[in-house]
């Protein structure tokens, strides 16, 4: 096992290259433990998606390093985010007055480890899923960029906490980024996160997001994934939801390169609620494999998955919706809907609903659809004098807009619409 293709890319010396300055012993031990487990684990299974031949790590190559340039547009964007990282460096910190007044922690890992060591250790090591497969073990052992956010008890924020994570493709060494968000009891807030890239080198990128919504909290997480074509991206998002807490994921998966995405919500508390909405658009030859799961552990917990994807050219999208109701989750509700729209004869798509029910007195259901664009809708629009290419865009916008309409952040919604328009123009 240790000699397989995946493990031949790895060496223990990589851990030393990834450690933070003045890293505590517990964190280094966590890395080593994850690295040792890696050889015994398997890659996450994405049904009907074979990505085992993809690269999983890229090392530094000084010959390919480029002069680093941040254009004016990105510089202006950075000023609008609470915190911005580029590669392994923090390049922007702009907490608003509301965050400062309410003693919200929002900083990089280096600062968090120094100022808040106990709370960082508690949540850094809390998620057991961080070491349950090869990708999570790899990310756990190699973390070289991190952001920590903590919202205290009873704090309600009117303005979102915003995070911009820019992959530095001027360099070739993989970035392993982790974002930890903790909403303490009875807190209420939104997080807006954007993933992007600058530079033209090919690179493998790993991003892991952990959200802890404690009892009676309400957390909404809006994510825009917009990595470049030169990036192979592995994104893992996980949330732990407490008693009577609410956790909503709203994700736009619009990377231009190959992507594996895993989104999981654990409804641990009684009366907890979790909703995951994902919209995706793939073009060119890119492949996107998206696993989305909601697990009901708590009594009377309520989970929902809604995914919509459109596919252009020779691209591929696979949605796997996994709803699980654990034994003891009496009165739970678990629903899902997965829809794929194929806009080319060469496009490949799949929508796989999976229900795993270990309790009797529950409600669970699923819907799945795969198909081509509705010719009747096109005909109706064209009969009103709308050009065919415009009519096609309107149908696609309407199909994806069912998810987009749930995003209250106009800024994020506008960026997603602009990306959709750009992909449609090139498709």
Q: Is residue 125 part of a domain?
A: yes
Confidence of residue 104 (pLDDT cuts 50, 70, 90): very high
Contact in structure between 86 and 168 (CB atoms under 8 Å)? yes
Please determine, for residue 416, whether its predicted confidence score (pLDDT) is greater than 60: yes
Q: What percent of the chain has pLDDT over 90?
A: 71
Domain span at residue 15 reads: 5-373
Q: How confident is the model at residue 243 (pLDDT cuts 50, 70, 90)?
A: very high
Rounded to an integer, the average pLDDT of 323-339 is 97
Give the range with max mean pLDDT: 122-126, 144-148, 414-418.
Answer: 144-148
Domain assignment of residue 42, yes or no: yes
Residue 285 pLDDT > 70, yes or no? yes
Would residue 402 count as lying in a domain? no
pLDDT, one tens digit per residue, over 148-206 is: 999 999 999 999 999 999 999 999 999 999 999 999 999 999 999 999 999 999 999 99
Q: How far apart are the first and last CA of the chain?
A: 42
Q: Is residue 151 part of a domain?
A: yes
Interacting residues of 47 by C-beta distance below 8 A, sequence separation 6+ = 318, 320, 350, 352
Q: What pLDDT, on a 0 to 100 scale, did the predictor assign at position 2? A: 44
Domain-embedded: residue 427 = no
Share the mean pLDDT of the chain: 92
The two three-digit tokens of residue 166, written as one number:
């820019």
Is residue 123 a part of any domain in this protein? yes
Does some domain include residue 398? no
| pLDDT of 62 strictly over 70 | no
- Edge-to-edge strand list for the sheet holding 363-372: 89-93, 83-86, 161-168, 188-198, 218-225, 246-253, 273-282, 302-311, 333-342, 363-372
Q: How many domains does the chain have?
A: 1
Q: What is the DSSP string of 236-293?
A: EEEEEE-TT-EEEEEEEE--SS-EEEEEEEEE-STT-EEEEEEEEEE-TT-EEEEEEE
* Orientation angle between helical segments 388-404 and 375-383, nearest 10 degrees: 120
Asked whether residue 414 is domain-assigned, the answer is: no
pLDDT class of 16 with cuts at 50, 70, 90: confident
What residue has token string 């729209």?
Answer: 341
Tell me which of 69 and 422 has the higher pLDDT.
Answer: 422
> Mean pLDDT over residues 331-340, rounded?
97
Average pLDDT over residues 414-421: 88
The answer to whether residue 65 scores a pLDDT higher than 80 is no
pLDDT value at 123 more than 80: yes
């Amino acid at each position: 096992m240790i000699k397989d293709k995946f493990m031949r890319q790895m060496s223990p010396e990589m851990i030393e290259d990834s450690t933070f300055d003045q890293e505590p012993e517990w964190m280094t031990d966590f890395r080593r433990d994850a690295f040792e487990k890696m050889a015994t684990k398997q890659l996450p299974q994405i049904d009907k998606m074979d990505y085992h031949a993809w690269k999983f790590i890229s090392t530094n190559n000084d010959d390919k390093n480029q002069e680093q340039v941040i254009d004016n547009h990105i510089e202006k964007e950075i000023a609008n985010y609470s915190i911005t990282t580029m590669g392994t460096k923090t390049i922007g910190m702009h907490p608003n007055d509301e965050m400062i007044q309410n003693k919200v922690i929002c900083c990089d890992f280096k600062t968090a480890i120094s100022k808040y060591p106990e709370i960082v250790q508690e949540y850094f090591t809390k998620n057991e899923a961080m070491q349950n497969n090869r990708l999570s073990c790899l990310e756990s052992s190699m973390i070289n960029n991190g952001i920590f956010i903590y919202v205290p008890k009873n704090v309600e924020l009117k303005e979102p906490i915003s995070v911009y994570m820019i992959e530095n493709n001027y360099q070739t060494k993989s970035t392993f980024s982790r974002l930890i968000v903790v909403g303490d009891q009875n807190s209420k807030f939104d997080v807006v996160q954007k993933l992007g890239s600058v530079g033209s080198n090919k690179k493998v990128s790993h991003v892991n997001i952990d959200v802890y919504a404690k009892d009676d909290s309400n957390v909404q997480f809006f994510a825009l994934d917009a990595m470049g074509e030169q990036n192979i991206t592995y994104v893992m998002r996980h949330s732990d939801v407490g008693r009577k807490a609410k956790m909503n994921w709203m994700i736009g998966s619009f990377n231009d390169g190959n992507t594996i995405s895993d989104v999981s919500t654990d409804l641990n508390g009684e009366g907890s609620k979790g909703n995951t909405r994902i919209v995706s658009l793939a073009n060119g030859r890119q492949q996107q494999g998206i696993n989305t799961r909601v697990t009901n552990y708590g009594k009377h917990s309520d989970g929902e998955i809604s995914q919509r994807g459109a596919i252009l050219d020779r691209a591929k999208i696979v949605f796997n919706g996994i709803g699980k109701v654990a034994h003891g989750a009496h009165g739970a509700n678990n629903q899902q809907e997965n829809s794929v729209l194929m806009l080319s004869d060469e496009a490949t798509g799949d929508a796989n609903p999976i229900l795993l029910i270990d309790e009797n007195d529950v409600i669970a259901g699923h819907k799945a659809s795969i198909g081509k664009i509705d010719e009747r809708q096109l005909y109706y629009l064209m009969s009103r004098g709308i050009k065919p290419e415009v009519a096609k865009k309107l149908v696609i916008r309407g199909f994806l807009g069912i998810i987009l309409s749930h995003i209250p952040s106009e800024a994020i919604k506008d960026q997603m619409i602009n990306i959709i328009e750009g992909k449609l123009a090139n498709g």
